[in-house]
Structure formats: C-alpha cells, structure tokens
Structure 1
Amino acid sequence: MRLHRLKVTAFGPYRRTEEIDFDELSSGGIFLLHGATGAGKTSVLDAVCFALYGEVPGVRPRNRLRSDHADPDQLTEVVLELTVGGRRLELTRRPEQERPKRRGTGTTVDKQFSALRELSSSTGEWTALSRSHQEIGEEIKQLLGMSREQFCQVVLLPQGQFATFLRADATKRGELLGRLFGTDRFVSAERWLFERRGAVEDRVRAQDQRLIALAHRMRQAAGPAVAEQPPPDTAPGEPELAERVLAWAAFARTAAREHADVAELALTAAESALKQAEGSLEAVRETADLQQRYADAQARSAELAAERGQYEAARERWTRASAAGQVAPALDARDTARRDHHAAEAARHRTCATLPDAPGSADELAERAGRLREDLGRLDVARRAEERINELIVARDKLDREAAADEQAERDTEIWLADWDQVRAAHQRRIDTAHEAAQLAVRLAGQLDAARTGVDAARRRDELVERERAVDERLLGAREAAVAARERWLELKDRRLRGIAAELAGELTDGEPCPVCGSADHPAPAEPGTGHVDRAMEERAQADYLRADESRAAAQLELHTVRERLSAVREAVRDQPVAELAARLAELESAHDEAARAAADARPAREAWELAEREHQRRIDARQRARARAADLLARRETLDAELSALRDQLAGLLDGQGGVAEHASRLERLAAAYTAAADAAKAAAGTAERLAQAEERLADAARRAGFDTVAQVCEARLDAEELRALGKRVEEYQARQAAVTRELADPEVRAAAASPPADPQRARATLDAAGERLREAFAVRQAARSRCAELDRLSAAAQRQTAELAPLREEYNRLRRLAELVSGSSAENQYRMRLESYVLAARLEQVAVAASLRLRRMSSGRYTLVHTDARISGRGRWGLGLRVVDAWTGTERDTTTLSGGETFFASLALALGLADVVTEEAGGVRLDTLFIDEGFGSLDEQTLDEVLDVLDGLRERDRAVGIVSHVADLRQRIPAQLEVVKGRYGSVVRQRSGAAAVSG
C-alpha cells in the first residue's frame, strides 16, 4: 500500500482545505512530520485512517471530526489517493455534520458520505465504483487484509506502546497480541470445548441415570424371582455401571424363565382335570335329558287320550266343509249373475224415465236416436256461418280500435313536435354547463393536490418537531447513562485488577499445581477483600455499558433521521400553521366537489340530448306510418262489412226462427243421447237375465256331484276360508302330537334311560366349576410369569441399546475431556501448562522476536538480540509470552526491563517494525510502502540516532517510504523532506518541503 495524495477540508484543526503530496515527500525515502504541540500532526494520521475505514484511531467520536474553525458553509471532507493491490484508488469521506439551510433559516444535517473511485490504467480516467459505506469498507478490508486496529498498529507505529510492551507482564502482552492477531477464536474454541464437555458429561450422566432406572424397573418386573439378589447398588458416572446392570439383567431373566416353566407344568395338569370334568358333566346331562323326555311323552299321551272326542267331531266337520268348498265356485257365480241382473234392470228403468214418450223395445229406441243425429248433422252449416259472423265482428272491432289509437298517436306527436325547439335549446344549455364545470374541476384538482401535500407536510412538520424534542431528551439521557455505565465498568475493571490475586487464589486446589507458579503447596493464598469484583461482575458491567452505548448510538441516529426529515418538510411548507392550510384545503375541496358534481352531469346530458334526438325522429316516422295505416284500415273495414251482411242473411234462412244454432243443436244432442242410453240399458237387462238362468242350472248340478241333496245343504255346511284353515290346522296338530308321542315312547335310548337310576347334573357341575377355577388360577400364574419374562426381555433389550448408544457418547466425553484439559493447560500432557490462546500467541511472539532482532542488532551495533522464551516471566505469570534480551558484549541474557531509556526506544522500535512485518505477512503479504513512526527519538544520543536512521533508511528498499513524527530539532537537519504543521488562532495549515527543494535551498 502506497499513499499518493491526501486532501483534508475543515477536518480537525484545519480550517480550510489542506493538501499533502506523499509522492513528493516520499521521494527521499524518509520524511519528517513536525510541528508545535497541538498543531495537528496526529490529525494527518487520523485523516488517513478515516479515509480508509470511516473511523479514526482510538475512541475519539466521529461527530468531533469537524473543525471548530471552519466556516458554516464549508463541509468537512477527506480525500485520499493511494495504490493498493496494484490498483490506483481514490477514497472520499464526509462525516455526518450540520450545515445552514440553503433556503430559509436554521440548520440541517448532512448524512455521512463515502465514495470510491478507481483510475483506469488504459484510459487514464477515474471510474466510480461505489457509494455504499458497507461495500467500500469491505473492499478496503479485503485489499489491505487487516482491520482498523491492525492498520493503526502496523502502518501508524505507536512506538511508545511497544516500550510499555517490553516492560509489560504476560497478561498485558497477551491482550495486545490477541487484539493484533485476532485470537478470540482460540478463546472461543477453549470455551466451546468446555461447554461441549459439560454437555456431553450431562448426557452421559443422564444415560447412566436411565440405566439405573431400567434396573429398578427390571427388579419390579421380575418380582419374587430375584427376591434373594437385588440389582447392584450403583451411581451415575461409575465406569463399569453398564456391565454390572447387564450382568444382573441376565440373572433376572434366567430366574424368571425358571418360574415360567414351573407355571407351565401346573397349567397343563389343570387343563387335563378340566377336560375330564367336562366329559362327566356332558354324560350326566344327556342321561337327565332322556329321562325327562320319557316323562314328558307319557304326560302328553294322557292329554291326547282326553282330547280324542273333540278331535273326531272336528275331523267330521272339516270333511263336510271341504266338500261344500268344491261347490263354492258355482254358488259364487250364481250370486254374481243375480246381482248383475238386478243392476241392469235398475239402469233400464232410470234411462226410460227421462224420455218424452213411452219407451219401446231396444231396437225402437235405437232407431229414434239415429233420426235425431241426422237432424243434428244438418245444423253444421248454420254453425259455421254463425262462427264466421262472430269472427268478422271481432275483426271489425279490432280495426276500429287500431284506427282510434292511430288518431290519438298522431295528435300526441303533433303536440310533442310543437315544443321541439325549446327542448333542444334546454339540452344544449345543460351540456355547455357540464363542460364548463369539468374544466373548473381540473383546475381545482391541481390546486387541491398541492394543498393536501402542504397540509400533510405541515402535520408531519409538527409531529417531527415534537419527536425531535422527545428524541433529543432521550439522547441526553442515553448519553448520561452511557457515561455512567462506562465509568462503572472502568471502576469495576480497575478494582478487579487490584484484586486479581484473590481471584486466582480462589481457583487453587490442594495438592494440584498452581497455574501461575507451578507449586503444589499453597501456604498463603490471597483472600478477597471488601467489595471484591470478579470476572462476572466486570463482564456484566461491560455488557451494561455496551447496551447503554448502543442505546445512545440508536438515539443519535434516530435524532439525525428526524432532523433530516424535519428539514425536508420545512423546506416545503416553511412555518405556515396547519389550521390555515387546512381551511384553504377545505375551501378547495368544497369548490372541487361542487364542480365535480356539475361535471358529472356531462355524460347524462349528452345521453339525454341523443335520446331526445332519437325520440324526435321516431315521432316523425310514427306519424307517417299512422297516416298510411289509416287508409289501409278503412279499406279493410268496408270489405268486412260486406261479408258480414251476406252471412247474416244465410243464417236466418237455415234456422227459420228456431233461435240460435247452438241452442237448437244442444237440444237435439241431449235427446239423441237419452234414446241411445235407453237402448243400451234394455239390451244389457236382457243379457243378464239369460246369464242368471244358466248359473242356476250349473249350481244344482255341482251340489248333486258333491253329495248334497239341495243347495240349502251346501250353504249350511259351507265355511269361509279362514274358518276352514283353522279347523284343518286343529286336526293336523292333533295328529302330529299323537305321532310325536308315539315315536318318543318307542325310542330305545329313551326307554333305556328311563330304566336307569335318576341322574344328578348339579353335582357334576360343581366338580367342573372347581376344575375351572384351578385352571384359571394356573393360567393367571403362567401369564404373569410370561409377562415378567417379556417385560424383562424388553427392558434388557432397552438396557443393551442404551449401553450401545452410551459407548460412543462416553468415548466422545473422554476425548473432549482430554482435549479440554489439554487446551486449558491443566493436563499432565501439557508440559508448560499453556492454554491454547497462549500457545498461539507464543508462536506469534516468537516470529515477532525473530523479525525484530534483525533490526535491533543493527540499531545496537550488534550488541542486543530479542529472544522468545516459554518460561514464566514471573512466578505467577502466563507461560509462553516471555521476552529476553541477549547482550553480546557480556554474553548474558536478561529481562527487557533492564534496558535504558534509549535502548528501550530502539528495542521497542525494532519490535514495532518486526510486529508490522508479521502482521503484514498474516494479512496476506500486502506490501506496506508507507509507514509512520510516532515520537521517542529524543531519548537517543547522536550515534544511536544515526544507527536508528540507518535502519529506517534501510526500509526504503524497493521504494518504501517512512514518515517520522517527532519534535527533535536535530531531525530537521538530518531529514530534508519535511511536512510542517503550523498552528494559529484561526486553525492550522501545512507546509510541505521536498528533499530536492531542501538541497537546492
């Protein structure tokens, strides 16, 4: 990385724009940055850091970057041009700052601004790359390969800090190296290992607890089988817990299976006894049933003998009724013919009573009906004439109505057309009025949008004013809280450092080596004093401070946002009251609504005009059609009148004064129908009389064939179907009962059982119940034994699965425990009791010592060399972070704290340069062509100063430039290229002098 040009405006102590040409300063390899105290030398380095990272070194706030001497209209800005990674870039940064409004009074806040450009090697033109803070920050970090803290430590070498580093203890060195090399990840790895080990240990103990619970459940499941040998007494975490539980589970399963085998034998014996009792009970029941059947048969036989007389009478009655049933069809046919004949005679008498003259035979009545129908046929001609007359009358009436309607429509049309001119003018006026209202509504709409925007802006302005006041108050409270929290944190941190010995002593264990001195004896460990602060209290205070600072930053960002919005709103509406703007808006809305309602009538007005035009044309066309239709109706009416007169004359001749055609025809139809009905009734009565005589003859013949002398005997013996079926069923039932009793008494098994002694089923049942109870008891015992075996198998399988699952978990726990103890320095395998972070830092420190010694030997004329040691710096220090200085003149190795002031300076300078080399190499080998070294040269004698300058001059190899920040006057004579910062009452300015100019001067 090489710096080319830096331009600062209204930055720090610089009131106006100051530009620094680093290419000119670096032409000689070394240049001097000097000036009075407080002039602004460090501000040059701050500007470089701010341009690259958007922040300045240390804890200085960004809102204090603006120069207090700057004009209000002058914006604070830093522009840095540099080459990094083979790319020529230009960075522009402006912090958040207040400025006067361009219009009106008051101030507004400009947001933070960043811009990145790149110079094209082919075209020689600058190309904009980004204006995003995040994108630019990420791009610069990737190109440089280091954070802001690393950059400030490597490029802006704070030599004084490394003098402190030389004299610091291992803890302080570890903190500095940890920040530079980012070893927090190794601390996180240590913490993760301990947390992981604890989590796995909890899981192992939980698995052991479940194994113990399974053993107790197996004890309950086994019952009396393991009463003499309970499960082993174990505790979670014991190494052989699983093996002991599995061995006892095998014993419990074996004992349970032995009990199950005994229960199985007892069940088999009980089943055999039950089967024998069931067989005996079945035989006794069969004998008892046969004996009961014989007794029941004898009782039924006695009952049948008593019912014998009734059975004989019923059978005789059923026989005669069955014979009468054979004559029943002929008897029913005779009764039906008699009913039909009586009905036909009644109908003949009814029809003859309606005739105008005495009735005759059926043939005479039919002849009279025929003559009447002939007269009815001759009336058809008169009927058709009458129907046509009625049709003509209806048609003539319709023509009259149509002619009257046409006359009325023509009169209405003439009246409507008389007012057409006034109607047309009214429609035109309505259309014109709507068009004018539409134009007015368009004009008012534009004014209305502006008025609404103004009202909304005024309301937002008032809301933002209130919000600005509230956020400002909250920001003040957040700042006070952040300051108080930071003071509290720093106070607790200081108190903890003063009592750190007691904290370390609290971790000591008798018999175990001290992590500080390594001794296993702890004769007088430090005791915590009153108000002792531990790590947790300090971390909580730090967390409180970070939260308070985040709240302050959030409130500050919110205030900046509110002020930006308020400024934009005020530019739009200035200070006009909301009520005034709202009143104007209401007037415009009312006028616009009225104009909009009037303009909305434009389309209905146009449609009404078009409808009136169509109505005008329709009425003119209708008047013409009505006149043509009136002439046609007159001709058609004359034709209808002529035809109607002719038909009326014809009808009068046909009727000859007999009334109307319909009335005469109706009278003839009624007479013809009456004579026809009488003739039909006479014929039907003659037919039924003949059928009745035939039925009487067939009935007498059927009675004789059935064994009856007269028809009266048949009627007396006859029964209806239901009675006959009931009587037959009684006869059949008696016969069936008699046959069943006979079969039952003749059965040899029944007769043999009757001859045997009486059977006793209750006694056999009692024997069977006793056998069943013994079987149920044996079955329950067998099932319980099987259940115990199955439960023990299930629980044993669960214990085996759990043991198999626990094996890799326990192996993982052992591995994690060993690793955690190794990285924490508490393992015997860790020879130096060195933590992982300390180990990494020790490796880095060893690299730094090697790189620093190359320059230290030259600065000290080959006398001093820095070496790294893994031993403790003091009896209670950290391992691996020791630094020793080897004096080649005496051949001794001593502590770095024994160096004199001048020796400490060039030793710390060599250490800073060595650290820069190591950090640069870790950052990806990014070449740093521009370095700055701050102060410390005043402690050197003339010879040592020459040697230090020779070393620094050696850094120029391959075109590297070194800037020295110093007050030493001798350096102004030794270094021709200089950048002087001159302070004044109204701000500082820079004066640049190149090496060539100094030589020529």
Structure 2
Amino acid sequence: MRPLKLTIAGFGPYAGVQELDFTKLGQRGLYLITGDTGAGKTTIFDAITFALFGEASGGDRSADMLRSKYAGLDAPTFVELTFAYDGKEYTVRRSPEYQRKKTRGAGTTRQAADAQLTYPDGRVVTKWKEVDRAVREVIGVSREQFAQVAMISQGSFRQLLQADTKQRQKIFRDIFGTGLYVSLQEELKERTAQVKLRRDQTAAGIRQFVESIVWDPEDPLAAEAERARSGELPTAEVSRLLEELLTRDTARQEELTGQSSRTDREMEQVVAGLTQAQARRRAQQSLAEKTGEEQRRTAVLAQLTAAAEQARATVPEQEQLARQIAGLEAVQTDYDALEQKRRALQEKKQSLTQAQTAKQSLERRRAALAAQLEDMTRERKGLEGADADRERLENQRQRLNQRREQVLLLVRDGKALDRARQELERLQQAYLAAARRSDQLGRQYDGMQRAFLDEQAGILAAGLEPDMPCPVCGSVHHPRLAVISQQAPTEADVKRAKGDYEGAQKQTEKTSAQASAQRGSVAAAESAFREKSAALFGEMPLEQVPAAGEAEAEQLNGQLQTLAGQMARLEEQTARKIQLDRLLPDREKALSDEDGALTQAQSQLAALTAAARELADQVAAMEEKLVYPDKVTLNREIQARRQQLEDLKSALTRAETAYNAGKEQLAAVRSAIAQLKEQLAETQETDVEGLTRQREELLRRRGDLDARSKTVHARLTANAAAREGIAKKAQALSALDAQYAWMKALSDTANGTLSGKDKVMLETYIQAAYFDRILDRANLRLRKMSGGQYDLERRKNASDQRSQSGLELDIVDHINTTRRSVNTLSGGEAFLASLALALGLSDEVQMSTGIHLDTLFVDEGFGSLDSEALNKAYLTLAGLTQGNRLVGVISHVAELKEKIDRQIVVKKDRTGQSRANIVAG
C-alpha cells in the first residue's frame, strides 16, 4: 500500500481543506514530518489510518474526537485518501459523526458517519462496515496489524520489546492469525476432559455395582464379600466372587423350591377336608333358617289373598270414571279456540299501545329536529368571516416570529462575546503571570551563572600544590589563593536553573500566542455583533444591546401568546363552519324523513284500533257458551278424575303382584328345605378343629419358605445384575483408560502443561518460529546500529516451570559476553533495539503473508540518542527505502532536519489552526 494523495477537512487542528500530494516525495527514500509541538504532525498519520480503517493511529483517540474544534458549524469533516496497491489505484473517503448547522432554521443537527470506497474500475462500495471489509480485502491487514507493520506510532516501539510471553502471544495472534492453534488447544483440552469424565463415570458405575453385591451373613464367603464392597479386591477377583455366590444361591433356591412343593401338596389335602366340614355346617344352619322362613311366608300369603279380593271389587267404579274423563276431553278444543282469540286481542292491544307511543315519539323528535335545524342555520351565518381573519393573524404571527428569532440570535451572540472577552482577560493575566515568572527565573539563572563562574578560581586554587606552576599563569608562587564560598552553586544547580528559565520562556511564548489568537477572535466577534445590532436596533451602544434584546424578546413572546389564543379561537370557528356545512343537508333530509314516518304511524294506529274492537266482540260471545271459565280449570278437573282412576288401577295391580310373589317365595323355600335334607343325608361329621390347627402349621411353614426364597431370589437378581454390569463397564473402562492416557499426553503437550517441562503451548511454539525469523531480521539492523555489540535472542529455557514461557527476550552483549533481560537496556539502547525489532516484524509479516506495504510511517522521538546512535538509526531507516519503499519519520531532532531534505512542514497560525506543506528538497 502506497498513499498517493491525502485530503483532510475539518479534521483535528486542520479546520479548512488540506491536500497533501505524496507523489511529490518520490517513489523511495526518507521524508521527514516536522513542525511545532501540537501542530498536527501525528494527525496526518491519524487521517491515513482513519480513512483506511475508521480509527485513529493511536488507541487513545477515537473517531468521535477527530472533528476539528476550529471548524465552522457549516464546514464539513472528512478524510479522502487515494492509494495504490498492486499497481492499482483506490480512493477511500470517510466522515466521522459530528454536529453541523441545520440546513433550515437555527441550531445544529447530527451528521451521521459515512464511508465510501471507489475501486479502479469505478465500482463504489458504501456503508461503514462494508467499506471496512472491502479495505481489508484489498490491503490484507486490520488496523492493529497495520499499526504494528506499517505505522509505528508513539509508545508502540517498546511494547513488543519489553512484553512477556502472554503479551507477545496476543500481539502475534492478531498479526499472524495463530488463534486457530488456541482453538485446537482448547478443543484438545475439552475432549480430554470429556474422556476423563466418561472414564470416571464408568469407574463410579463399577463401584456402584460392587456396592450392590449382597450375600448370606452365614456364608463362608461373607468376609471376602466385605473386602470386595470396601474396594479391597480387583475387578477380576470381584467377578470370580460373584460367580461363586451365584452358584451357592442357585443351589439354595432349588432346595427351597422342592420344600415348598411338598408343603403345597399337604395343604391341598387339609383344605379339602376343611371345605367339606364347613359345607355340612352351613347346610345345617340353612335348614334351620329355611324351616322358620316357611312358617312366616305361609301367614303372609293368607293376608295377601284377602287384599287382592278387595282390590278387584273397584273395577265398576274405574269404568264410570273413564267415561266421565272422555266427555270432558271432548270440549277441550272449544277452550283452545277461546284462548287463541284472547291472545290475539291482547296482542292487538299491545300493538295499539306501541303505535300510540311511537307516534308521540315521532312528534317529539320532529319538533327537536326542526328547532336544531333553525339553530344550526343561524350559527352558520355568523361564521362567514372566520377564514379571512385567520389568514390575517397568520401573516402577523410569521412577522413576529421572524423578528423574535433575529433578536434571540443576537442575544446569544452577545453572551458568547462576553465569554470570549472573559477568556481573553484570563489568557492575558496568564501571559502576565508567565512573563513575571520568566523574568524572575531569568534573573535567578543569571545570578547563579555569575556566582558559578566567580567560584571557578577558588576551585582551581584548591587544586594547586606548592612549587608547582599554575596552569593559568605558569607562576610557581601563590601569595594569595582564592577561597571557595560555601554558598557557591554547583554546575548541576546552574543547569537546573537554566532548564527552569527556558521552560518558563516557552510557557510565556505559548500563553502569548493563545492570548493573541483569542484577541483576534474577540475582535472578529465584536465586528459581527456590531453589524447585526445596527441592523436590528440602529445606532445603540453595544453594552445596551443584550438588555434591549431580552426586553424585546419578552415583549414579542407576549404578543405571540396573545396571537396564538386568537388564532386558536379562529381555528375552532373555521372547523365548526366546515362541520355545519356537512351537517345541515343531513338534518334537512332527516326532518323530511320524520314527516313521512309520522303520517305512516297515524294510518297504522287507526287500523289497529278497528281490529282490536272486532276481536273483543268475538271473545265475549264464546265465553257465554262454555261451563268452566277457562281451559286451565277444565284441565284441573280432568286431571283430578284421571288421578282417581290411576290410584284404583295401581292398587289392584299391586295387590295381585304381591299375591303372586308371596306364592312363588313360599314354593322356593319349600324346595330349598328338601335339597338341604338330601345334602345332609349324603355327608358325615369331620374333626374341624384338628384340620384347622394342621392348616395353620402348614401356612407358617410355607411363609417361612417363601421369605427365605425371596431373600435368595433377591440376592440372585442383584448379584446377576452386578456381574453383567461389571463385565460391561470393565471392558469400557479399559478402553477409556488407554484413550485418556494418550489424549492427556497430547493435550498437555499442546497446552504446555507437561509436568517437569517448560510451559510452552502449541500456539507459542508456532509463534516462536515466527519470532525467531523476526529476530534474525531485527539483528541485521541492531548489529549495525550498536556497532556489533548487541543481538536480540529468544530465551530457550524458562526461568521457572510454573508460568507460560517460550517468547521471553534477552539481549546478548558481545563485548561483555553477557546475556541479560532487555529491560536492563538504557533509554537510547532500548530505542535502537525497539526500532530494530519493529522493523524486523514489519519485514517478516510482509514476507510471510504476501502483503505489499510500500510505505512505512515512524512516529517516535529520537531525542534519547547521541549523535553516533542517531546517525546509525538514520542509516538503518535509509536502508529500508531500497526496493521502492517510502519511509516517513516524525521528529524534532535538528540533525535529522539537516539529513532529510524531503519534508512535510506543519505550522500553526495565531488562531491555533494548522497548515501542512510539502518541501521536496
């Protein structure tokens, strides 16, 4: 990647549009970015990084901090970079989110962030994330990788030099993409843990089966079984023990089964004898009961015979009631006709009442509609002028609003001018204080310098010896030696005073520039404020303008509020007029409809009156012919006679049914007595008590055998399940033990956790290979810059075997033949080592990834180097330009300004804004 043209607008200290044509710097070689402190040199790097990746070059500057504080509210903020990659030109343009002036009305609004990338073929990609993805596809690096490889910003040099293994792992992971090895390490660790879990679960399953083994406490194998349950026997011995226990319990089960069969046969004989004895006893009891029942049922049958004869005597009365009921039922239809006429008359009367009520309601509704139509017509006529009044008030409101906005804007400008004046006064006071301090420190420095020089004679005299020539005048006689004052300053005191004085001078210059810039801002603001004030208030003293503006704004607010109330009332009147125009035709049609409905209701009322009179005459004629007043009374009489008939019939049926049942029950009892007598004649007496005692003994014996059999069966079931479970899990455990052994060794190796070995993970091992190649490249430059004294070397053996290692870095001193930590290097030595390492990293990334970065940016101070080291660093950077590589360096060092003739010079004007110019040399 090579930048061709950079355009900056409203970005950092660059308020206006700034263009930098990098093609003027040539295709290769060094160029210098120089200028005042804080002028915006690093901002050029920030702009390139922001254009490519949407972020600044330094991690402490986010995108929302890049809007220029000097840019006007209507000035845009953007960065546009045209760059070449692989022989093709691309243009990327980005704008951060910022506040800008509204296009309509006063105030500001949010300008959303935007991005756009134009390909060599004219194709355009928009949207922030899509441009991020497209730029990375083109140049092949992320912002973090770009910062490490192509743009080495302030503070980044020593980060890689003095990092420990964990820090370098993170750096290399981002640059070389070794995260996939971490994923492999974690996958191995996770799978090993899963195998161990299955292995432990299988072993626990075997222990559960062993703990489930049961045995007879009297068994000779009981002691050995206790040892197995306690975990003292190996799995093979436990399996053998289970086989013996199962063999013994199987034999016991067969023996108990035989005893149970013999007991069952004896029980069958005893139960048969008891059953026969119980049957004879029940037959004897039943015979006695049936004989008594025969006597009772004979007496009951005599009573039932008399009741049946009495019920048969009511048959003639039943026939007479049936004839009476038939006669009454014949006249029921006459009463039905009467009831229909009565219901029809009642319905006509209800309809007549409803018709009268409807007619009265129609009359009231028509009167209300007529009155409402008259009121609405009168109201509509009174609203004719509302539209014209509303338009007149709207024009007046617009004029008042425009005047109020102009006045309020002038008041805000006045307050801003007051704040600017206060800031000017503060800066002037700061300048005066800095000037006084600079003068004071200057006088102190001059006094200490003179006192120090005055004391040099005393220092020289202190070193003279008798009869030895003076190094100044050559005399061997020293009649009166100068004496050193106890209050004389040391050389260090003089240097410290000089440094304080120079720092104060710089602070004075800085505050003077700030006050001067603020004075210009105040003058411009006063001129603009005076012009706006004259336009609004005429020739009024400026100090009276704010109060006059606020008073007029308050007055205008009151007028606008009054006007708003008037307009609201007119709005209501206009809305009411529109509503009446819509409602009046509806109300007129409704009144016409009501007139028609009223005429129809009068006709219907007359027809209903005539029909009701005719039905009343028909009902009166029918009532004179019938005996009972209504059908309900007739039905009650029919129902009473029917009930009487039903009662007589039911009594006859019940009497005959009871007689027949009594006769059948007496016959059944006599038949049962004959069967019981025959059954007793066929059986003999039995010893029931003896058979009962024999059965109880057999039941006790069978219960004991069942209990013992259940115990043996439970042991057989549990131990057979344990034998099968142990056999299955023992085979699985053997396979899991073998799998876990090799998987743990592989996981520990990959994760660097092998006992007694250096803690080097797989990712670290891969990164170490990259690191060794980086160090090979870095040492080519470090040897030149250090005169062959130093080499960087990766530490092969860890200082301890408890923490992660493999990427620690030592410095090898070939002069002293020592090896030590890079943290022991002095400031200048550390800078050279850091620079060499950063350049080695840049070379290795481009070689190993195939990325082409034809430009290198270095933003780092060179002030810690002496002249010789600075010259070597310069030669090293100059050597990077071979192969058409362009290297940009930010520095304040004067020697570099003399060595590098191609420069980007950044200057800050009195207002604090910056400009950059390219000097091609």
Q: TM-score range by the shorter chain?
A: 0.5 to 0.7
Residue aligning to 2:345: none
Work out whether 1:843 is the aligned partner of 2:769.
yes
Q: AA paired with 2:841?
A: L
Work out whether 1:139 is the aligned partner of 2:134.
yes
Residue aligning to 1:714: none
Residue aligning to 2:880: 952
Seen in structure 2, the aligned counterparts of structure 1 residues 167 and 274 have a Cα distance that, compared at 3 Å, is: closer
Residue aligning to 2:918: 992
Work out whether 1:980 is the aligned partner of 2:908.
no
| TM-score, with structure 1 as normaliser | 0.51
Residue aligning to 2:807: 881
Equivalent residue for 1:782, pick from 709, 720, 733: 709
Residue aligning to 2:92: 91
Query: What SS class does the counterpart of residue 27 from structure 1 fall into?
Result: coil
Work out whether 1:768 is the aligned partner of 2:674.
no
C-alpha contact (below 8 Å) 2:79/2:95 kept by paired residues: yes
Q: AA paired with 2:31?
A: F
Query: What SS class does the counterpart of residue 12 from structure 2 fall into?
Result: coil
% same residue: 26
Instruction: Provide the C-alpha distance between the structure 2 equivalents of 1:435 and 1:805, rounded to a whole number of angstroms.
Output: 103
Residue aligning to 1:46: 46
Instruction: Provide the C-alpha distance between the structure 1 equivalents of 2:568 and 2:766, rounded to a whole number of angstroms.
Output: 76
C-alpha contact (below 8 Å) 1:842/1:870 kept by paired residues: no
Displacement, 1:6? 0.9
Seen in structure 2, the aligned counterparts of structure 1 residues 760 and 729 have a Cα distance that, compared at 3 Å, is: same
1:615-626 equivalences under 5 Å are none
Q: Deviations over 1:314-338 (max 9, x none)?
A: 9xxxxxxxxxxxxxxxxx9xx99xx
Q: Deviations over 1:197-247 (max 9, x none)?
A: 66765665555445434433444x8777674444446899x9x97666656
Query: What SS class does the counterpart of residue 74 from structure 1 fall into?
Result: coil
Equivalent residue for 1:156, pick from 151, 160, 177: 151
Residue aligning to 2:78: 77
Seen in structure 2, the aligned counterparts of structure 1 residues 86 and 781 have a Cα distance that, compared at 3 Å, is: farther
Q: AA paired with 2:254?
A: D
- Higher-Rg structure is 1
Displacement, 1:276? 3.4
C-alpha contact (below 8 Å) 2:390/2:567 kept by paired residues: no
Instruction: Provide the C-alpha distance between the structure 1 equivalents of 2:667 and 2:877, rounded to a whole number of angstroms.
Output: 150
Instruction: Provide the C-alpha distance between the structure 2 equivalents of 1:157 and 1:182, rounded to a whole number of angstroms.
Output: 20
Q: Deviations over 1:270-304 (max 9, x none)?
A: 12322333355467678x689979x989x99xx99
Displacement, 1:4? 1.6
Instruction: Provide the C-alpha distance between the structure 1 equivalents of 2:593 and 2:217, rounded to a whole number of angstroms.
Output: 106
Query: What SS class does the counterpart of residue 92 from structure 2 fall into?
Result: strand
Seen in structure 2, the aligned counterparts of structure 1 residues 276 and 168 have a Cα distance that, compared at 3 Å, is: closer
1:367-446 equivalences under 5 Å are none
C-alpha contact (below 8 Å) 1:901/1:939 kept by paired residues: no
Q: AA paired with 2:44?
A: V
Instruction: Provide the C-alpha distance between the structure 1 equivalents of 2:74 and 2:580, rounded to a whole number of angstroms.
Output: 54
Work out whether 1:931 is the aligned partner of 2:859.
no
Seen in structure 2, the aligned counterparts of structure 1 residues 901 and 262 have a Cα distance that, compared at 3 Å, is: same
Displacement, 1:952? 2.0
Equivalent residue for 2:586, pick from 604, 608, 614: 604
Displacement, 1:765? 3.5
Residue aligning to 2:125: 129
Q: Which stretch has the larger CA shift, 588-597 or 978-987? A: 588-597
Q: AA paired with 1:954?
A: Q
Instruction: Provide the C-alpha distance between the structure 1 equivalents of 2:282 and 2:877, rounded to a whole number of angstroms.
Output: 140
1:11-30 equivalences under 5 Å are 11-30=11-30
Instruction: Provide the C-alpha distance between the structure 1 equivalents of 2:135 and 2:730, rounded to a whole number of angstroms.
Output: 56
Seen in structure 2, the aligned counterparts of structure 1 residues 255 and 951 have a Cα distance that, compared at 3 Å, is: farther
Displacement, 1:862? 9.2
C-alpha contact (below 8 Å) 2:32/2:891 kept by paired residues: yes
Seen in structure 2, the aligned counterparts of structure 1 residues 580 and 25 have a Cα distance that, compared at 3 Å, is: farther
Equivalent residue for 1:919, pick from 845, 850, 861: 845
Seen in structure 2, the aligned counterparts of structure 1 residues 232 and 885 have a Cα distance that, compared at 3 Å, is: same
Q: Give ranges in structure 1 of 5+ residues lacking alignment.
A: 315-331, 344-422, 455-573, 623-719
Q: AA paired with 2:686?
A: A
Q: Deviations over 1:452-485 (max 9, x none)?
A: xx9xxxxxxxxxxxxxxxxxxxxxxxxxxxxxxx
Q: AA paired with 2:256?
A: A
Displacement, 1:845? 0.2
1:92-241 equivalences under 5 Å are 92-99=93-100, 108=108, 110-121=110-121, 128-132=124-128, 134-158=129-153, 161-162=156-157, 165-166=160-161, 173=168, 176-177=171-172, 180-181=175-176, 201=196, 204-205=199-200, 208-209=203-204, 211-219=206-214, 227-232=222-227
Q: AA paired with 1:131?
A: K
C-alpha contact (below 8 Å) 1:955/1:961 kept by paired residues: no
Instruction: Provide the C-alpha distance between the structure 2 equivalents of 1:76 and 1:744, rounded to a whole number of angstroms.
Output: 128
Displacement, 1:20? 0.8
Instruction: Provide the C-alpha distance between the structure 1 equivalents of 2:257 and 2:384, rounded to a whole number of angstroms.
Output: 107
Q: Which stretch has the larger CA shift, 244-253 or 911-920? A: 244-253
Seen in structure 2, the aligned counterparts of structure 1 residues 962 and 955 have a Cα distance that, compared at 3 Å, is: farther
Residue aligning to 1:266: 259
Displacement, 1:116? 0.8
Q: Deviations over 1:874-925 (max 9, x none)?
A: 99996433557789x9997966859998887665444323211333355x42
Query: What SS class does the counterpart of residue 953 from structure 1 fall into?
Result: coil
Displacement, 1:21? 0.9
Aligned length, in residue pairs: 645
1:444-843 equivalences under 5 Å are 587=569, 590-591=572-573, 594-595=576-577, 597-602=579-584, 604-605=586-587, 607-608=589-590, 750=681, 758-798=685-725, 813-827=740-754, 832-843=758-769
Instruction: Provide the C-alpha distance between the structure 1 equivalents of 2:802 and 2:140, rounded to a whole number of angstroms.
Output: 36
Q: Deviations over 1:138-159 (max 9, x none)?
A: 3333333333222111111359
Instruction: Provide the C-alpha distance between the structure 2 equivalents of 1:241 and 1:437, rounded to a whole number of angstroms.
Output: 111
Instruction: Provide the C-alpha distance between the structure 1 equivalents of 2:741 and 2:180, rounded to a whole number of angstroms.
Output: 23
Q: AA paired with 2:857?
A: F
Q: AA paired with 1:92?
A: R
Q: AA paired with 2:126?
A: S
Q: AA paired with 2:903?
A: Q
Displacement, 1:13? 2.9
Displacement, 1:981? 1.6
Query: What SS class does the counterpart of residue 981 from structure 1 fall into?
Result: strand
Seen in structure 2, the aligned counterparts of structure 1 residues 439 and 179 have a Cα distance that, compared at 3 Å, is: farther
Work out whether 1:964 is the aligned partner of 2:894.
no
C-alpha contact (below 8 Å) 1:849/1:911 kept by paired residues: yes
C-alpha contact (below 8 Å) 2:779/2:792 kept by paired residues: yes
Q: Deviations over 1:2-30 (max 9, x none)?
A: 21211122322333222111222233544
Q: AA paired with 1:925?
A: G
Residue aligning to 2:476: none
Displacement, 1:853? 5.0
Seen in structure 2, the aligned counterparts of structure 1 residues 167 and 611 have a Cα distance that, compared at 3 Å, is: closer
Q: AA paired with 2:797?
A: A
**CA RMSD, 1 decimal:** 6.2
